[in-house]
Structure 1
Amino acid sequence: MDVLVTPTATLQGELGALSSKNYTTRYLLVAALAEGTSTIYYPAHSEDSDAMRRCIRDLGAIVEEDEEKIVITGFGRHPKPVDKLDVGNAGAVLRFLMAIASLCPDVTFINRYPDSLGKRPHLDLIHSLTSMGVDISHQEGKLPITIKGGQPKGGHIQVSGNISSQFLSALLFLTPLLEEDSEIEVLHDLKSKVVVGQTLEVLQQAGIVIHADEDYMRFRVPGRQQYQSKTYTVQGDYPGSAAVLAAAAVTQSNVKLHRLPVHSKQGERAVVDVLRMMECPLTHDNDIVHVQGNGKLKAVEFDGDHATDAVLAMVAAAVFAEGTSRFYNVENLRYKECDRITDYLNELRKAGAKVEERQSEIIVHGRPEGVEGGVEINAHYDHRVIMALTIVGLRAAKPLVIKDAHHVAKSYPTYFDHLKALGAKVEWIEGV
């Protein structure tokens, strides 16, 4: 399905923020790795979190759900042997479960999205797991991937951190369950350190002890630990909310977004600071972000590695800012569902934006007067690109058609419903 985005001058209303996808997937996993029964309140509903639900069920967890919560009886360190796992298009779920699947005798992760997740590299994690005694068959580091495990060994483990922090997080979930103590050494640079902080926060809540160096480049993990069954509450999702906040910033708006903790460990919380730097009128108190946008923004420079999943939305806002904005240290955007630098900027140019790319930078020459629009653009099956292009469509002179926009469901199934509730003119249309 495609979406038609018609220019919209004003947004107004209040929304409860979407629940955090990152926290939901992590809570689901640690609940499955506990042997008792855990409860998760306000879990996210998205393709990613649904993939984790489906896979932990396949691995032996009992999952019961109502409108408010999920109750999970876990399998501990003994997942049920299973032949195949289908993670859909969820890269983090794949990588976390590649580590856990090493406790199983023989599991194949299938490839249903050859043009998206099927193109993403996982060699860094494969090298780490192989060094732990796990036999892995793969296609040059890509799906389908078969893991023949059963007896992974701890000890000194190295993992590269310069493509994704998810490889490190995967090892942090696995190593506490092993017989041996482990020391994990991160090689090269570590991308998205704030997301590793979320993993460590969830592990601590689950009763796991991990000793981390301050720079997150070395971790000491005692073995023979047990995940404890707990009750968790999922906070609001800053990555998805970034797109709603940016939409409010580029329009005449009076928008309140609830359930966004001021002191959240989500790196994408920085979207609030960036919009302030862009001189967008807003307040952030009592877990409510209140934007009273006037459509006037100033250019900004920002280190995007601190807020990877909010960068595209901030770039979309910068399209309409006065001056030239620069988002740097963002090379890891190239290794997502699509190349979120080259692919995204190509689509922005079609819409009339003035943008440049470097290997690890996005440069935006703002057009406060707006962009032309009036074109059909390709979101490359990427939920973050879909959300960001929608923001641009709200300030275009002519409507935009975003192809295959249903893929927004990967993280934010109700995104367009939420925008409509604020007055945005967006509608589903049949793809040609």
Structure 2
Amino acid sequence: MSHAPTPRPLRLAAAGPLTGAMTVPGDKSISHRALMFAGLAVGESRIRGLLEGEDVLATAAALRAMGATIERSAEGEWRVHGVGVGGLLQPQVALEMGNSGTSTRLLMGLVASHPIVATFTGDASLSKRPMGRVIEPLARMGAGFAAAPGDRLPLTLRGRCPAVPIDYTLPVASAQVKSAVLLAGLNTPGITRVREPVPTRDHSERMLRGFGAELTVEETGEGRVISLHGEAELRAQDIVVPGDPSSAGFWLVAASIVPGSDVTVRNVLMNPTRTGLLTALRLMGASIETMAEREVGGETVADLRVRHAPLTAIEVPPDLAPSMIDEYPILFVAAAFARGTTVARGAHELRVKESDRIAAMAAALGLAGLTVREHEDGLSIEGRDGDPLPGTANGTTVASLLDHRIAMSMAVAGMHSARGIAIDDAAPIATSYPTFLDTATSLGAATTWLNR
């Protein structure tokens, strides 16, 4: 599932306004969860709009290895015959997660309350990322772990059945940890509770209820309390996956910074736990119009029309961090073209993503000609007041560090640069957005593969 080992260097350059309309791939968070819940449901679920990137395909492969039947039709519809809660089978091979932290952490929760043993492996990037924050609550539920030093992959998990229900307060805002505990709670007798002082994306809660789980969410003075009744029976569903707001974010920023641009992104998920970037861009003065807002499968979706507009630096409200944690790299790019110095902090989580995204973006933007100050939890970026970035010098490439969001963010920066921006490896983009470069070209960007 990991991308090809041979790097694919790429240069993105300015080529006039970006114009047109497009849809972005299905939301990655919802795609992962749709497969997992369908894999535990009784009957056949049908999924349309599934993101077919490497991360989601890693989830599908793991579920097949544990007994679910998952097939894709020629028309792009996915059909999943689930095994029922408690019905996961012992995998005969290691579960290869590629670059997908979401697959790993959520599937760990799934396995933790089943009487099976599973080994999780991943690529070089994923194998550097700590899993301790998921191990801790799942171990309290009774699961056993043998991990590489630092609670890293490769990792072997021995599930416990019956597991022990817990009442768990999240020490950091993490939808992945929350979801892992809830997934373990599905096959655990009694009530499993997760308390989150800071709200995080709530796709697991919405979708679990849709599949028939008995789940309640209570708003309290200390935050949200999610209670799940275990030994659930999930019922097969038909699911339409809306467009990924994280993927849409690249075009919202690209059209905002490239003069003369006018781009419409259709069918974007508008869940309020996922719209932090939209809020931040509007605070900076971006021209983004919400059109045709509607409900699809329990989630709000809309079309977004974005036109070039001058951006002004802001101090990004830290309370936006949970609703835009994956979008900080592309927000940093927007800040690069604003008037004044943007301060974006409150994002400690970026240090433990596919790469250290704070350090990676500081280095990449610096190579492209920007003045950047690195903080422990974010960046301060001196914007260019709409002027193009100088770009990378001949023979110089910015390092993507096997991180798809770094690669795509710097690709967008290259769309308004004097010399273009060369990226050392664009191959990781396939993990979440396989058609990104095709879309860039169709909108008018100039892309050139470089020889090594």
TM-score by length of 2: 0.89
Is 1:69 the counterpart of 2:77? The answer is yes
Is 1:416 the counterpart of 2:437? The answer is yes
The 5 A counterparts of 1:6-405 are 6-66=13-73, 67-76=75-84, 77-83=86-92, 84-102=94-112, 103-111=114-122, 113-114=123-124, 116-139=125-148, 140-158=150-168, 160-162=170-172, 164-185=174-195, 190=198, 193-195=199-201, 197-214=202-219, 216=223, 218-252=225-259, 253-261=261-269, 264-265=270-271, 267-286=273-292, 287-294=302-309, 296-302=310-316, 303=318, 304-368=321-385, 369-374=387-392, 375-405=396-426
Aligned equivalents of 2:52 and 2:272: distance in 1?
Answer: 18
Aligned equivalents of 2:215 and 2:173: distance in 1?
Answer: 23
Q: 1:319 to 1:41 in 2, by over 3 A?
A: same
Residue 155 of structure 1 deviates from its aligned partner by 2.6
Q: Is the 8 A contact 1:128 1:157 kept in 2?
A: no
Aligned equivalents of 1:198 and 1:266: distance in 2?
Answer: 11
Q: Greater CA deviation, 4-13 or 403-412?
A: 4-13
Q: Is the 8 A contact 1:278 1:299 kept in 2?
A: yes
Residue 54 of structure 1 deviates from its aligned partner by 0.9
Aligned equivalents of 1:353 and 1:268: distance in 2?
Answer: 28
Aligned equivalents of 1:134 and 1:311: distance in 2?
Answer: 34
Q: 1:105 to 1:305 in 2, by over 3 A?
A: closer
Aligned equivalents of 1:274 and 1:158: distance in 2?
Answer: 31
Residue 271 of structure 1 deviates from its aligned partner by 2.7
- The aligned length equals 421
Aligned equivalents of 1:93 and 1:402: distance in 2?
Answer: 26
Q: 1:31 to 1:356 in 2, by over 3 A?
A: same
Per-residue CA deviations over 1:126-175 (Å, capped at 9, x if unaligned) read 12222222121112311111111241423324364427331111111220
Aligned equivalents of 1:257 and 1:305: distance in 2?
Answer: 23
Aligned equivalents of 1:266 and 1:47: distance in 2?
Answer: 26
Residue 59 of structure 1 deviates from its aligned partner by 0.9
Residue 53 of structure 1 deviates from its aligned partner by 1.1
Aligned equivalents of 1:230 and 1:163: distance in 2?
Answer: 29
Aligned equivalents of 2:133 and 2:242: distance in 1?
Answer: 30
Uncovered stretches (5+) of structure 1, i.e. residues with no partner: none
Aligned equivalents of 2:163 and 2:155: distance in 1?
Answer: 20
Aligned equivalents of 1:97 and 1:285: distance in 2?
Answer: 36
Q: Is the 8 A contact 1:341 1:362 kept in 2?
A: yes
Q: Is the 8 A contact 2:117 2:156 kept in 1?
A: yes
Question: What is the root-mean-square deviation of aligned Cα atoms in Å?
Answer: 1.8
Aligned equivalents of 1:75 and 1:427: distance in 2?
Answer: 46
Aligned equivalents of 2:374 and 2:162: distance in 1?
Answer: 42
Aligned equivalents of 1:58 and 1:243: distance in 2?
Answer: 34
Q: Is the 8 A contact 1:132 1:157 kept in 2?
A: no
Aligned equivalents of 1:38 and 1:419: distance in 2?
Answer: 33
Q: 1:118 to 1:244 in 2, by over 3 A?
A: same
Residue 29 of structure 1 deviates from its aligned partner by 0.6
Aligned equivalents of 2:444 and 2:430: distance in 1?
Answer: 20
Which residue identity does 1:131 align to in structure 2?
R
Which residue identity does 2:157 align to in structure 1?
I
Q: 1:268 to 1:155 in 2, by over 3 A?
A: closer
The residue matched to 2:80 in structure 1 has which SS? strand
Give the match for residue 5 of structure 2. none
Uncovered stretches (5+) of structure 2, i.e. residues with no partner: 1-7, 293-301
Q: Greater CA deviation, 10-19 or 22-31?
A: 10-19
Per-residue CA deviations over 1:234-281 (Å, capped at 9, x if unaligned) read 0111001101110111002011111125xx216342333332222222
Which residue identity does 2:389 align to in structure 1?
V
Q: Is the 8 A contact 1:198 1:266 kept in 2?
A: no
Per-residue CA deviations over 1:190-245 (Å, capped at 9, x if unaligned) read 5xx332x1221111111112233325554322222111111111011100110111
Q: Is the 8 A contact 1:161 1:167 kept in 2?
A: no
Q: Is the 8 A contact 1:137 1:145 kept in 2?
A: yes
Residue 300 of structure 1 deviates from its aligned partner by 2.2
Identity rate, percent: 26
Per-residue CA deviations over 1:313-347 (Å, capped at 9, x if unaligned) read 11101101101112221111111000010121111
TM-score by length of 1: 0.93
Q: 1:138 to 1:249 in 2, by over 3 A?
A: same
Q: Is the 8 A contact 2:46 2:238 kept in 1?
A: yes
